[in-house]
Amino acid sequence: MDIKILHMVEGAKEATGIAVIIDVFRAFTVEAYLMNNGAKKLIPVGDMQIAYDYKEKDGNCILVGERHGIILPGFDYGNSPAQIKDVDFNDKTVIHTTSAGTQGIANAQNADEVLTGSLVNAKAIANYIKSKNPKEVSLVCMGLEATSQTEEDNLCAYYIKSILEGTTRELDKEIEKLKTTSEAKFFDEKQKDVFPEEDFYLSTEVNKFNFVLKVEKDNEGMNYIKKIEV
């Protein structure tokens, strides 16, 4: 199994085999909660206008997303797991757009399969990949707004890689370090409205969920997320 670790939009474009598009803070943690809470259909889109167009066609759909971390105008929820962790999304269609994670999905055109990646289901992702035994695996770290690398996405990629290779990687100290490095914003009182502290802890609850989120295409060629128990 050839395992590559790639970065940002260019990395997504280069991804082959099974691609895991990683966005720990916060896109694919949010998607895990959305699917765990019963979303009937979850549609990740790169272009925010597509989300607005969906809402115009179907006023009952739920819009979730951000740009620069801030909830988009007219959206129901921001890209915050704390906002949606206790919300019932049964029978709801959810449209999700973010600065980084969903951009990766939109650009992973050369992969055989696309999964979303986060710490909350990292082991399930690795176990799913093991069951498929592909020749190639591309772990794509989307980073900060898909413009620069982040420690947490790299950490998630190397953790998944370690499981695939049968080695051990302890995460506790590395996660603790994030509080004072790349993700110190979650502990900044001035930024709590956009980056609530609870989001940090929800996003680093390693292996909370035992399912993977796979990107599929509907009859109209639009991406949607399928939940697969592992």
CA distance 164 to 9: 24
| % of the chain beyond a pLDDT of 90 | 94
pLDDT at 24: 98
Confidence of residue 168 (pLDDT cuts 50, 70, 90): confident
pLDDT at 97: 96
Q: What is the CATH number of the domain that holds 150?
A: 3.90.1560.10
Contact of 65 with 96, CB cutoff 8 Å: yes
pLDDT at 221: 86
Q: Number of structural domains, the chain? A: 1
* Residue ranges making up the domain that contains 129: 2-229
This prediction has a pTM of 0.95
Q: Is the dihedral of CA 142, 159, 223, 112 positive or negative?
A: positive
Q: Stretch 169-193: mean pLDDT, rounded?
A: 95
